Amino acid sequence: MGNQPIRSNNQASGKRFQSQASTNLRKNDRIRVPEVRVIGPNGDQIGVMPTKQALTLAKQVGLDLVEISANAKPPVCRIIDFGKFMYEQSKKTKDNKTAVTKLKEIKFRVNIDTHDYMTKIRRAEGFLNKGNKLKITLMLRGREMEHQELAMEIVNRAVKDLDGVGTADSPSRLAGRNISATLSPLAVNKRKPRHIIEGQADDEEDEEDEEEEDDKE
Q: Give the DSSP H or E segment for 181.
A: strand 178-185
How far apart are the C-alpha atoms of 5 and 202, rounded to whole Å? 38
Question: 89 and 173: one domain?
Answer: no
Question: 21 and 59: one domain?
Answer: yes
What confidence score (pLDDT) does residue 25 get? 86
Which of 67, 97, 127 lies at the terminal end of a domain, its last residue? 97
Q: Is 34 exposed, middle or buried (0-12, 13-18, 19+ CB in 10 A)?
A: exposed
pTM over 0.95: no
Question: 107 and 29: one domain?
Answer: no
What confidence score (pLDDT) does residue 75 get? 94
Do the domain assignments include residue 3?
Answer: no
11 pLDDT above the threshold of 50 = no
- Percentage, residues of the chain above pLDDT 90: 61
The mean per-residue pLDDT over the stretch 26-53 comes to: 93
pLDDT-based confidence at residue 18 (cuts at 50, 70, 90): very low
Handedness of CA 125, 130, 133, 134 (dihedral sign): negative
- Domains in the chain: how many in total? 2
What confidence score (pLDDT) does residue 210 get? 43
Question: 90 and 119: one domain?
Answer: no
Question: 93 and 163: one domain?
Answer: no
* 48 alpha-carbon distance from chain centroid: 39
Give me the domain span that covers residue 162.
103-216
Do the domain assignments include residue 4?
Answer: no
pLDDT-based confidence at residue 135 (cuts at 50, 70, 90): very high
At 170-215, the pLDDT tens digits run 899 999 999 999 999 999 999 999 887 654 444 444 344 344 444 4
Tell me the pLDDT of the chain averaged across its residues. 82
Buried residues in 186-200 as b, exposed as e (16+ CB within 10 A): beeeebeeebbeeee
How far apart are the C-alpha atoms of 80 and 42, rounded to whole Å? 9
Question: 116 and 93: one domain?
Answer: no
CATH number at residue 67: 3.10.20.80
Question: 92 and 135: one domain?
Answer: no
